[in-house]
A and B are shown apart, each in its own frame.
Chain A
Amino acid sequence: MKKKTILIVILALIVIGGVVAYYLWNKPKTNAADVKPNYVLPADSLVSAFLNNEEAANAKYVKDSVALEIEGIVDTTYINEGNEAVVVLKTALESPVTCYFIAGEASNTKKGEKIHMKGYCNGYMMLDGVQMSKCAVVK
């Protein structure tokens, strides 16, 4: 009787472990819509932080554990070759903030619109400016 119980417990653990592993492996990419932002700031402030000191800005903003909410005005929108919706937020500086959505998700924004965008900062590029990923427009 006791042996049987142990066997059942072991079997159950194996099954649970398998199910957990399966879900972890197949977990979908999730955007930043439901994440509480660590920083809320205008697009200009974010870009100027990188222009002033890229290393310091990297250390502060480019982290998996740090989500941002950026206020800005939509300059252009398009879908890139990777099927990612792209929203470029204009700044008064030499480069913009370029926000990328998870492939297949729609941005539902239009040029000239003032929006708040949540996402994660990937770092700074010369032409794209600050690249943001897993973006979601704050409703």
Chain B
Amino acid sequence: MKKLILLAVILATANLASAQRYFSKTAHVHFYSHTSAEDIKADNYKSEIVLDKATGAIQFSSLIKSFEFEKALMQEHFNENYMESDKFPKATFAGKGDFSKVDFSKDGTYTVPVTGKLTMHGTTKDITTNATFKVSGGKINGETKFYINPKDYNVTIPDLVKGQISDKIEVTVKANLQPLTK
């Protein structure tokens, strides 16, 4: 019995040691809304991701007020009227990726199917996408793209500007990942 416990402990520790976690606190989220009337884009260069290659768990978060627009007025409207960032300051994604075919120590390009839940503006929806990881000379760059409809997240767009905001907003995420050592 004692031996069994010892074995279990050893296995658990070995498992822990091989658990590889990676992070970035300078992940870039870009969104782009295209309509014939107007193109709107914004960038957040201070989003965070932590991913655990062993379990596939992916945690991503962005603060809404950290999205920068070209025009101050647009940024105000985004925060006050649409995202209500005083009430809902953070957007999060919690999901899983299949990293079974990925070797972060070997150069190459890996495609990882990702599914999870995106929460913003107080609403949670399922997201399914593919993420691409490019490994080159020890550097790991992750990237993904997906589309969201503001309506799905209960973001109300007044009739007056309906033609200016797309119902298919392109979201691009880029992150330069580093091993997490703590």
Q: Within the complex, what minimum Cβ distance (angstroms) separates A136 from chain B?
A: 15
Q: Is A58 an interface residue (CB 8 A)?
A: yes
A63–B87 alpha-carbon span in the complex (Å): 9
Given known pairs A122-B65, A126-B61, the reply for A64 and B86 (CB within 8 Å) is yes
Per a CB cutoff under 8 Å, which of B48, B80, B85, B90 touches A128?
B48
Determine if A127 and B25 form an interchain contact, defined as CB atoms under 8 angstroms apart. yes
Q: Is B46 an interface residue (CB 8 A)?
A: yes
Determine if B73 and A125 form an interchain contact, defined as CB atoms under 8 angstroms apart. no
Determine if A103 and B68 form an interchain contact, defined as CB atoms under 8 angstroms apart. yes
What B residues does A82 contact at CB under 8 A? 28, 43, 45, 68
Interface size on A, residues (CB 8 A): 28
A122–B48 alpha-carbon span in the complex (Å): 14
Determine if B73 and A123 form an interchain contact, defined as CB atoms under 8 angstroms apart. no
Given known pairs A80-B46, A81-B45, the reply for A123 and B68 (CB within 8 Å) is no
**Which of A29, A80, A100 has the most B CB atoms < 10 Å from its CB?**
A29
Q: Is B31 an interface residue (CB 8 A)?
A: no
B59-73: contact bitstring with A at CB < 8 Å (1 yes, 0 no)?
Answer: 001011110100111
Per a CB cutoff under 8 Å, which of A30, A80, A100 touches B72?
A30
Determine if B72 and A62 form an interchain contact, defined as CB atoms under 8 angstroms apart. no
Determine if B48 and A133 form an interchain contact, defined as CB atoms under 8 angstroms apart. no
Q: Within the complex, what minimum Cβ distance (angstroms) separates B8 from chain A?
A: 31
B14-46: contact bitstring with A at CB < 8 Å (1 yes, 0 no)?
Answer: 000000000101101000000000000001011
Q: Is B50 an interface residue (CB 8 A)?
A: yes
Q: Is B89 an interface residue (CB 8 A)?
A: yes
What B residues does A30 contact at CB under 8 A? 72
Q: Is B75 an interface residue (CB 8 A)?
A: yes
What B residues does A126 contact at CB under 8 A? 48, 50, 61
Determine if B61 and A80 form an interchain contact, defined as CB atoms under 8 angstroms apart. no
Q: Is B79 an interface residue (CB 8 A)?
A: yes
Residues of B within 8 A of A (CB): 23, 25-26, 28, 43, 45-46, 48, 50, 61, 63-66, 68, 71-73, 75-76, 79-80, 85-86, 89-90
- Enumerate the 10 nearest inter-chain pairs by beta-carbon distance, A residue then B residue, closest first: A82-B45, A123-B89, A122-B65, A127-B25, A123-B63, A122-B63, A29-B72, A62-B89, A81-B45, A122-B66
